[in-house]
Structures are given as C-alpha cells and as structure tokens.
Amino acid sequence: MNDTSPNAMQLRLVCGLLASAARLVPVPLLDDVLREKALQLMVSRTLKQHARTYGSKAASPLYGDQNGCLHGCIIGLLLLPMKVLIFPVRKFLAWGMAVKNLARDLSEAVLLGRTLDRILDANRLPMDATTESLRADAARVRLAFSNATAGTDLTLIRGVLTTALRSVSGLPSAAMRALRGIRSRPDDADPTASLSSADKATVETGAARVSSALETPEMRAFLTRFDETFDENLRLLDERASAKSPTS
C-alpha cells in the first residue's frame, strides 16, 4: 500500500486530530481513553486495509497500555484523586499548548501509520500467528517505534505539518465534532463517518496538504532516516527475543 495515498493519509490525519482534540475533553480519565481510542481506530483500519481480520485488540500494544487494560485501569484509579486535583491545570495547559499538541499528535499518527504499513507489507503480524506471538510481536514493534521517535529530532516534521495545515481552516472544529460518540464505535469504524460533507471536504484538503508536504526531498530524507532507525531498533529487539526463546 502506498503510505501517501489519499485514504491512508486521511486516516492518519483524522486520527491524529482526534487524539489532539481528546486532550481538551473536560473529564478526568475520559480524555486519555479517547486519545487511545483514536489510535486504536487508526491501527484497526490499517490492519483491515492489509487484509488482517483478527481485530486490533489482538495487537493492542500498538496503541495502548502494554501491561494490559486491568493494569491500566488500576493505575488510573489509584491516580484519580491526583488527576482530579490537577485536572483544571492540565486542561488550561492543553488549551494553551493546542498548536504544539496538534503537531505532536499528528506527527505520531503519520509516523505510526507509515510504520504499520511498512511492517504489514513485510508480513509482520501475520494472520496465522498465535495470540501470544502476535501480541509479543506487536509489543516489539511498538517499543521499536517508541525508541525511534525518542531517538529522532521531530522538530522538522512537526514544523512541516503545522505549516501545511495552518491555512486549512476548520480542522480543529471538525475534529471536536468527530470526537462525539467515538468511544462507542466499533474498533474498525470509519472515524470520518459522522462528519458532515463540509467537514469531510476540510479533512480531505488537510490530507492533501500533508501528503504534498511530505513529498519534498527534505521530508523524504527525514522519513528514510526514521525508517532506518526504526528498522535497526526492531532488529535488535527481534535478536534479543530470539536469544531468550526456549527453542533458540
């Protein structure tokens, strides 16, 4: 699959916008739940586009807490009193840093979606994998991605995306409207399904601008370097997992 195709880029743009809009939801814990749901929708739709029918929960480390839902819920409940206390401050900062958060969330969605396309094309996370091996493979992919983003200066891509979308009016508002009811939607739901025709046109314009911005020689070189960093991290993690395997 072409990772700069309109459908692929539109999916990443919408899910990145949803994740960013979720930061502004004025309910403790729900904002985090909605951000994770936005990434889950992107992962699920990408898996489906690559003919994987096992569903996103089988590869949940790609978008969620790698320790599992129960662990995340327990930690969330333990931290709830503190989160409630600092919630007004968090929301104030979220609004104040909306542009910065938008660039960060969009960058993550664009890079993660691109990475998923690459590893699925290479037959990672195959249909015939056992539940245990699928989850372990997904965890390695996500860790390699996290390591790659931590080891990469993302200033360039964040600046490019911000510039590309600056002239597209209405995107944040469209994201807030798309966020409504997202929690109850199926894992493979189309995140743009509830948008009006005007909002969809806005999103399509934004996706086209992002795609064009990523086609410059400078951005192509950046993405190639990121791919190489991710690949090296994944190779090392695969070697470490192979060394620990009882059959090795």
pLDDT surpassing 80 at residue 104: yes
pLDDT of residue 78: 45
Question: Across residues 66-87, what is the average pLDDT?
Answer: 45
Q: Evaluate whether residue 1 is within a structural domain.
A: no
Q: Looking at this protein, which amino acid is placed at residue 3?
A: D
List Cα–Cα distances, 98 to 19, 134, 143, 170, in angstroms.
11, 35, 27, 14
pLDDT digits (tens, 9 = 90+) for 194-204: 778 898 888 88
pLDDT of residue 83: 43
pLDDT of residue 85: 41
Range in 53-67, 93-107, 125-139, 157-171 the model is least confident about: 93-107
Give the chain's domain count.
1
**pTM score over 0.95:** no
| Domain of 53, in residue numbers | 6-244
Q: Looking at this protein, which amino acid is placed at residue 65?
A: D
Q: Evaluate whether residue 201 is within a structural domain.
A: yes
Q: Evaluate whether residue 33 is within a structural domain.
A: yes
pLDDT digits (tens, 9 = 90+) for 29-40: 677 888 888 899
